[in-house]
Amino acid sequence: MCGIAGLVSLGDSDEERRLAVARMCDAMQHRGPDDNGEFSRGPATLGMRRLAIIDPAGGHQPMTSTGGRYHLIFNGCIYNHRELRAELAAAGYSFRSQCDTEVLLAAFDRWGVSCLPHLRGMFAFAVWDDQEQGLFLARDPFGIKPLYFHHDGARNRFFFASELNALLASGLVAPRIDPRSVAEYLAYFAVPAPRTIYEGVVSLRPGECARFAGGRLQVDQWWHFPTASTDSPICRSAEEFHQELRARLDDTVQAHRIADVPVGAFLSGGLDSSGIVALMARAGGARLKTFSLVFEERDFSEATPARRTAEVLGTEHHETVLTGRQVAGDIERLLQAFDQPTGDGINTYYVSEAARAGGVKVALSGLGGDELFGGYPSFRDLPRLARFLSVWRMLPAALRALVVDQLARGGVRQRKLADFLAHARDLQGLCSLQRRVFSNQLGRSLLHRDARATAADVLPHHPALDQLSHELAGADPFQIISAWELRTYMADVLLRDSDVMSMAHSLELRVPFIDRPFIDWLWSQPARFKAGGGQTKSALADALAGVLPEDIRQRKKRGFTLPFSVWMRRELKPFLDDTFAAAFIERTGLLDAAAVSAFWRGFLAGREDREWSRVWSLAVLIAFLNRRTAR
């Protein structure tokens, strides 16, 4: 795991490029405190900060191919590097180290862009080609590792880095907030890729690669969700599916354990993390270290099931008590860790801090189980609503408008239903609206009038609608919902925030459920097996029979939520009072003070506790915008 950065420019001197890249790498020291390196040739300068996980002594970067043509910097881990090493050695390649970076470089040297389907892992990497005088970038299929870039066509400059804060640290990228991105943040509490919060700064999307040569940039999608013609064998019964699923889970967990440093796991007490921990513990080796967050507010704490799981599995369990007082005291530190505004990720920040302090350098997480095994209400609710839409569309337009207007005046659920009925025509449309927080109209009302005009063309649907509708043509409803959750909420919020918050503490976070071979196999299996007969995640629970005790395996799903609804009325209230002050909101230049502060007053009045996430995410946005304005 590393932080990578680079600059390709014909107009800047070698010294200017090196200084800019050095500034970017210095800003990412937390991503790689173990080593650093730089390469400069012709118009290109590459730099990196390394967190040494595999072959700590032998993986120095940038790394140059044997023939001297290719120069690589790499962030991530290639879990099948041993298998690829054997294949490449048989083809005549020799290796000087045991590091996965050298294997990746040899794979690129042999296969070029066609190496990507050979890779099992999480990755974002860059290769400078001396012969073609071009730069190649690539990102893993699900967006576990980030990669951002900025193309300054006027000066023929191309920047890239693992973090937005690093790009800004170059001193050559203007930190101009994009009003359209602010509008999209209000819709999803994350800026959907490829946009970022900054004008002209782009996120390479999951499964994309890019080439920059001769001043021209080309971006392509190298990975798509599997089609119906996948080569994976189809299970014929639920029993066969559960047996094969267990074997595949074993395989992905063992692949994600490879490291030459201590490996631990996050343990929340839920089925996903408990299953990962159980499979790790059964593999033997040193006693496994597990880490949990617990709270003084018992209604939110999952301390008891996490302790029970740790006790049964024999792990060395570490609990961190997180309080509202601590979060309030750390608020500036937390805000500084964000490179984009987000209402999520604080739990990952603290549990990552605990894991690093507890002696591990790598931690496995249960992220992805809900997206793959139907853990969200969307898997149950959206197909039902999709069947109703055809009848709904047959009603007179005036009646439909009246119903939507009435629903839009109600609470959170009613407003969400109003959005569905007003804009969706099929299941794909419903999926594109599922993660929307504020409706198009309400989100626009929160913007300052000038920003409102700039963002006037933001559509109610998620910007990925056209692409995913095409990519998922012929997919079944379970696949469609799963893909939308993976490509949007998982990639733009959960994985992005997990990377930023874990790397803030120099911890490599791995997600065994989000594994391409595992998902390729699972994708092709009948939906009735994955859905588990309509019981939430029962398919996963059945596959873990004999691995987890019955009380843990059958425990009712409970979403992990921090006690923010409580803290915001107590310990965090002074920060929020200051943040929602009219003058502070107005200073952003992008938000309407009266409309935004009304949400804070409504929350304090206790009209609806579910509004806490909206209020908190608005507060983070205001604080972030003011921080950028101050700079």
Model confidence over 470-508: pLDDT tens digits? 999 989 999 999 999 999 999 999 999 999 999 999 999
Q: How far apart are CA 145 and CA 539, in angstroms?
A: 28
Task: Kindly state the average pLDDT of the residues 383-411.
Answer: 92
The answer to whether residues 194 and 209 touch, using CB atoms and an 8 Å cutoff, is no
pLDDT at 63 over 70: yes
Q: Are residues 258 and 203 in the same domain?
A: no
Domain holding 537: CATH number?
3.40.50.620
Does residue 615 form part of some domain?
A: yes
pLDDT at 508: 98
From 221, 253, 273, the end of a domain falls on 221
pLDDT at 630: 43
Q: Are residues 370 and 388 in the same domain?
A: no
397 or 555, greater pLDDT: 397
pLDDT at 559: 61
Amino acid at 67: G
Does residue 226 form part of some domain?
A: no
pLDDT at 534: 65
pLDDT level of residue 10 (50, 70, 90 thresholds): confident
pLDDT level of residue 169 (50, 70, 90 thresholds): very high
Domain count, the chain: 4
Domain holding 6: CATH number?
3.60.20.10
Q: How far apart are CA 310 and CA 164, in angstroms?
A: 37
Q: Are residues 430 and 510 in the same domain?
A: no
Cβ neighbours around 255 below 10 Å, total: 18
Residue 217 CB-density burial (10 A; 0-12 exposed, 13-18 middle, 19+ buried): middle
pLDDT level of residue 607 (50, 70, 90 thresholds): low
pLDDT level of residue 236 (50, 70, 90 thresholds): very high
Does residue 231 form part of some domain?
A: no
What are the tokens at 258? 């490879």
CA trace torsion 432, 437, 443, 447 (10° rounding):
-120
> What ranges make up the beta strands (E) of 130-287?
134-139, 148-152, 157-161, 201-203, 208-213, 216-221, 263-266
Q: Are residues 361 and 251 in the same domain?
A: yes
pLDDT at 45: 98
pLDDT at 228: 55
pLDDT digits (tens, 9 = 90+) for 270-293: 899 999 999 999 887 789 999 999
pLDDT at 117 over 70: yes
The answer to whether residues 116 and 223 touch, using CB atoms and an 8 Å cutoff, is yes
Q: Are residues 57 and 82 in the same domain?
A: yes
Determine the distance from the C-alpha atom of residue 194 to the mean position of all C-alpha atoms in its chain, rounded to a whole number.
Answer: 13
pLDDT at 465: 96
Does residue 203 form part of some domain?
A: yes
pTM: 0.95
pLDDT level of residue 557 (50, 70, 90 thresholds): low
Q: How far apart are CA 307 and CA 291, in angstroms?
A: 10
From 463, 482, 501, the end of a domain falls on 482
HSE, side-chain direction, 13 A CA sphere, residue 578: 8
pLDDT at 631 over 60: no
Q: How far apart are CA 75 and CA 100, in angstroms?
A: 11
Task: Kindly state the average pLDDT of the residues 138-152.
Answer: 97
Q: Are residues 41 and 183 in the same domain?
A: yes
pLDDT digits (tens, 9 = 90+) for 305-363: 899 999 999 999 999 999 999 999 999 999 999 999 998 899 999 999 999 999 999 99
Q: Are residues 161 and 109 in the same domain?
A: yes
Does residue 323 form part of some domain?
A: yes
pLDDT digits (tens, 9 = 90+) for 523-540: 999 999 998 766 778 999
Q: Are residues 260 and 139 in the same domain?
A: no
Does residue 159 form part of some domain?
A: yes
Q: What percent of the chain clears pLDDT 70, i.e. is strictly above it?
A: 97
* Contact partners, residue 284, CB within 8 Å, separation at least 6: none
Range of the domain at 581: 564-630
Q: How far apart are CA 378 and CA 477, in angstroms?
A: 11
* Cα–Cα separations (whole angstroms), residue 186 to 72, 179, 219, 447, 460: 38, 11, 27, 9, 12
pLDDT at 456: 77
Q: Are residues 296 and 339 in the same domain?
A: yes
pLDDT at 124 over 70: yes
Q: Are residues 474 and 540 in the same domain?
A: no
pLDDT level of residue 550 (50, 70, 90 thresholds): confident
End-to-end CA separation in angstroms for the chain: 29
Q: Are residues 584 and 473 in the same domain?
A: no
pLDDT at 71 over 50: yes
pLDDT digits (tens, 9 = 90+) for 185-228: 999 989 999 999 999 999 999 999 999 999 999 999 999 998 75
From 194, 221, 248, the end of a domain falls on 221
Does residue 612 form part of some domain?
A: yes
pLDDT, mean over the chain:
93
Task: Kindly state the average pLDDT of the residues 71-92.
Answer: 97
Q: Are residues 469 and 595 in the same domain?
A: no
List the one residue out of 614, 600, 596 whose CA is nearest residue 444: 596
Does residue 230 form part of some domain?
A: no
* Contact partners, residue 116, CB within 8 Å, separation at least 6: 138, 209, 222, 223
